[in-house]
Structures are given as C-alpha cells and as structure tokens.
Structure 1
Amino acid sequence: MPLSHPVVVGVTVFQPDEAQSAALCRRVEADPRRTVVFDNGGLPEAAAARLIGDGALVLSEGRNIGVGGALDAIVRTASEAGARQVLLLDQDADFSAQQISALEAALGRLQGSGVPVALVGPRPEAAPGRKAPASPRRPYRSDHGSLAPVEYLATSGSLIDLEAYAVIGPFRSDFFIDGIDLEWCFRAWAAGYGCWMDTGTALPHRVGAGVIRSEILGIEMPRQPLFRMEVYLRNSVYAWRLSHVPRRWKLRQAAYLPLQILLYWADAGYRPNVLARLALGVLDGLRGRLGQPRGLP
C-alpha cells in the first residue's frame, strides 16, 4: 500500500491488556499515518484483525524477540515502504497525531539549519507513581530554540530519521530490552548525528511498577521485575567496553550501579537469590553474554 505520509508510526506490543489494545486501535483509526505494529506476544486476535482492517500492518515472529529486534523490524518495514522517518511508540504511550506533527516540524527546523539529526523526541515526564526516564543534556552543545541536545532519549516517542539510521546502524537486538536507546544514541553522536529533545512536547512514561526510593542514598529507580533489573545491569556493564560510549557515562555508572543493586536488593527483602541473580547480570555483562535473558516471561 503506497504511503500517504512520509512518517510511519511503529508500535511495539507485548501482552497488552484490554485497555491498551483498545487504545492502540483508536489511535490507528484517528491517525492518517501508516502504522506498523510488532507483536512480541499476546496481542489478541480480535485486536490484530481490527488493526489490519483499519490499514495497520501487524508483524510477528511468533515469539518474543525483544524490543531491539522489534524496533529494527519496524524500521526495515518503514524503509521498504518509502518512509523518510519513523515514530516509535510502546503500548503505553499516549501520544497524539498533533504531537507527532510537532516533532516533524522540529526535525525539519534542525535539518533546515544544517544540523545532522538522528532523532527528535518529546520531553519525558513521569506518569503518576512512576519515574521518568533520564535524558541528560549533551555537553558543549547549544540549544536550537526549544530543542535541547541530549545524550539519549527513550525510544518511545522518538522520531527517527531513516537516512541517519542507515548510517548509524540498527538497534542492538542482543541487548533485548534495556539500554537499547542509550547505546544507539551514543552511537549516533559518535557518527556525527545528534539526538534532540523538544522541550515543548511531553510524553508520560510508565516504566516499571512504581518507584524505589532511598533518602539515605539519594537515589530513586523504577521497580522492575528481577529479569529486567538483571538485564539492565548486564547491558550497562557490557557498555563499558564500547568505544562510542563516553567515559563520563562509564564513570557515572561505575559509581551508580552498586547503589542501585543495594537499593533493589533491600526492596526485595535482602533475599539471597535476588542478590545472586543481580550478580549474574553483572558477570554476564563482563563476559559479554547478551541475548535473551533468563527468567523471561
């Protein structure tokens, strides 16, 4: 089917509940842009049929291939369809067609000023009871009006330029779920393409199931399932060996990860098996053992 708009919307889903499936169907009905949905498992047949009937393309490999693999499948499909950009969302994202247009305009302003752009994304906000993803500013870079250069942005809500993607390369499918956006954005900056946050456009994020806080340690983090925390540690430690990841980030993580481990372990009741799994995640990162995590639902 020929595209009527240069932007394709890509949505990754995994075991969406009834409300999430219904919201996805409504957004496809309301947005004239072509939507590509990648089902990593659990999309109801009725919802898939409704999406297809409304013009969406539903992809699946019949198993959970992880977020990185799903994102790359969406991008390949969008590129083959002739799109110039792809807007990536997860199943929780409440992001309107008007907000996508705002990102399109922002990307156009940057490119019109001769700025090489990998992506433009919204300002992350915390949904009630959650923690917003970090988006630290890129040092030694100036703002372009309401657009701020950032080290990395969550993929959900990011408008990816496909010409830049072709140069930067695919998302890391072997990271599976955590740190994928961070690694790709650092790789983008190393290749000469910037990642920009539109401070005038916001997207609430629903990471994890609440927040773990410690006033003593002065940190807070999302409350994640054990397999997610293990993968986060694994990928963070593995990233220390990547030359395009800045030394400043590696040093920060070297100080921060032990505090996160302690906070997570305390929240889990200091159970020995939890600490053992966290230690395995760190060891996997040191040894370069990536791919599908243990304990995957």
Structure 2
Amino acid sequence: METMKSSLKLVVGIVTYHPSQQTCERIMMLAEKGIPFLVFDNTPGENFWPTAIHPNVIRRGLNLGLGVALKALDEASQQAGYSHMLYFDEDIVFDENTILWIHQWYGHHQPDSRAGLIWFNYHFKGAKAPEKSEAYPIKIAMSACSLINLEAASLIGGHTDRWFLEGIDYDFCFRLVQNGFQLLGVDHCPGIDPFANQPGIFYTDKKGRKRLVRIQPMKRLWNFWYALLDLTWRSLIQGPRNYAYLFFRNIFTYAYDQISAICWTYWIRLWKK
C-alpha cells in the first residue's frame, strides 16, 4: 500500500495506577519495538519500573489523578518534539498493528491541522485497510484510543487538572470545539479491545454493539454529574449551546446506566443461584 509522506510524529501516551502485568507487557512491547512512548504513573510509593525505561516514565510518587497526568503528558510530548499523542488508558488492549495502522491511515488521509482529536474507537465496524476507512465528524470522544493534536492541545491549555478523573475528556473536547477544532471518528482500526481488562457484565445491544454493565462508586457518580453540570452551564453561557443538551442529557443517561447495572448485576447473581 502506498501512502503520502506524513508529517506525523507520534508518541504513545499511557496513564497507569498499580498497572497489571498485561499493561506492563504492552508498555515493554512498545520499548522493544522502538515505538516512542511516555507513561505517567500515578502509583504511590517507590519506582518499580525497569531502569531501561525510566526516561519514558513520569512519576511523582502520588496518585494525582487523570487530569494532572494527561496535562503532564500533553506538555512532555510537545516538548519532546512530537506532533501527536496517541493516548490509551492502561486497561485498553492494543498491539503493534494498531500503531502501524494509524500511521498508515494518517499518511493516506492527511487530516487537516484543524483536526484536534481523532477517536479510533468510536464504533468498531470490522477491520478495513486504512486507505478505505473514512473519518467523519463527531461531537464528543473519550480520551482512550484518541490521537491528540498536540499543537491544538497547547493552544487550549491542555487537559484540565481541575478534576481528578470524571469529565476530563468531555471538557477537553468541548474546549477544542470552542476554539474551532474538529473532532473526528474512525471505525476500523484493528487490535483495540476496550473490554478485555474491564470488570463487569457484558451484553450485546440491538445494534450488535458490546456494552459494559458495571456499578460505579457513588463518589464517582457525583463527580461525573458535577462535571456535566459545570459543562452544561459553560456551554449555555459561552457556547456552542447545542452542547448544553448533550451534557445535560448525559446526566440522565449515566443515571439510567447505573440503574441498569444494578438490575443486571443482581438479576445475574440470582439467576446463577
């Protein structure tokens, strides 16, 4: 397959907290394959990472949360001269083919510099050759599996460190849109599995998509609802106002998901008895 010459200078970014053996193996795979990467480790205590990758690991010995970690990765990646960061949560499965496919996709499609974020896990619809997989506009994205334009991130001040965990990706996408950047979705990237390392119950919805059912701690629910209310208010005041509906609706969607998770979890337990 021929691709156009690409200006993409990609680094893989990962945030960890008490990483599993599988997460460590994926990170060591990046090191062995010579794929540029940076890790922000939120695990408290002593540095347990192999000496060979110490230059690639940012540690402060405390759990500072996802917001601080992503902001630090934004800044470190840009300072190191990379144009884009491909971010993965520690529990997202990916492999070398994932990185290669994204490189080839970028080289073929050459997205505009106004593409602030490209989400490669929007709705997986089966693998395709990268030149045949078209990007399309989306309104919001998760951080995980996203290719982040570091120049765009710098212009908007990077990820917020006001919040510990919930709502950080929504806030980042919202500020990109406010500043004229695009959010794009791509459906056919191979090797990504967002469910393999996730605890909970899974089911397939009417559209054939795999869904995760998991009861969240109440503190996490309150934090996410607070973030969504904050984003709703800001979108009403600052615009674009159509995002107010999106954020406010998600308050009820998230509540419904939790009620469903409770029902599914206890029904499954009773059924297994």
- Is this a same-fold pair by TM over 0.5? yes
1:106-153 CA deviation, whole Å, 9 max, x = no partner?
4455546x4621122212469xxxxxxxxxxxxxxxxx9611211122
Does 2:194 align with 1:205?
yes
- Indicate if the aligned counterparts of 1:8 and 1:78 stay in contact, CA closer than 8 A: yes
| Structure 2 match to 1:174 | 162
Judging changes above 3 Å, is the alpha-carbon distance between structure 1 residues 28 and 124 closer, same or farther for their aligned structure 2 residues?
farther
Tell me the SS of whatever aligns to 2:120.
strand
Shift, 1:177, TM fit: 1.0
Judging changes above 3 Å, is the alpha-carbon distance between structure 1 residues 208 and 149 closer, same or farther for their aligned structure 2 residues?
same
Does 2:61 align with 1:62?
yes
The amino acid across from 2:25 in the alignment is A
Does 2:39 align with 1:37?
yes
Q: Which runs of 5+ in 2 are unaligned?
A: 1-7, 125-131, 206-210, 264-273
| Structure 2 match to 1:251 | 245
* Residues in 1 aligned to 2:9 and 2:228: alpha-carbon distance in whole angstroms: 35
Judging changes above 3 Å, is the alpha-carbon distance between structure 1 residues 102 and 247 closer, same or farther for their aligned structure 2 residues?
same
Q: Which runs of 5+ in 1 are unaligned?
A: 127-143, 270-297
The amino acid across from 1:240 in the alignment is T
Judging changes above 3 Å, is the alpha-carbon distance between structure 1 residues 178 and 208 closer, same or farther for their aligned structure 2 residues?
farther
- Indicate if the aligned counterparts of 1:87 and 1:158 stay in contact, CA closer than 8 A: yes
| Structure 1 match to 2:215 | 223
| Structure 1 match to 2:139 | 151
Number of aligned residues: 239
- Indicate if the aligned counterparts of 1:124 and 1:205 stay in contact, CA closer than 8 A: no
Shift, 1:171, TM fit: 0.7
* Residues in 2 aligned to 1:55 and 1:64: alpha-carbon distance in whole angstroms: 18
Greater than 6 Å deviation, 4+ residue runs: none
- Indicate if the aligned counterparts of 1:106 and 1:120 stay in contact, CA closer than 8 A: no
| Structure 2 match to 1:26 | 29
* Residues in 1 aligned to 2:149 and 2:260: alpha-carbon distance in whole angstroms: 42
* Residues in 2 aligned to 1:125 and 1:145: alpha-carbon distance in whole angstroms: 12
Tell me the SS of whatever aligns to 1:118.
strand
Does 2:232 align with 1:240?
yes
| Structure 2 match to 1:189 | 177
Judging changes above 3 Å, is the alpha-carbon distance between structure 1 residues 211 and 228 closer, same or farther for their aligned structure 2 residues?
farther
Q: Aligned Cα RMSD in Å? A: 3.3
| Structure 2 match to 1:123 | 121
- Indicate if the aligned counterparts of 1:13 and 1:43 stay in contact, CA closer than 8 A: no
The amino acid across from 2:229 in the alignment is V
| Structure 2 match to 1:86 | 85
TM-score, normalised via structure 2 length = 0.73
- Indicate if the aligned counterparts of 2:213 and 2:260 stay in contact, CA closer than 8 A: no
Judging changes above 3 Å, is the alpha-carbon distance between structure 1 residues 44 and 197 closer, same or farther for their aligned structure 2 residues?
farther
Judging changes above 3 Å, is the alpha-carbon distance between structure 1 residues 43 and 167 closer, same or farther for their aligned structure 2 residues?
same
**Identity fraction in percent:** 21
Tell me the SS of whatever aligns to 1:232.
helix
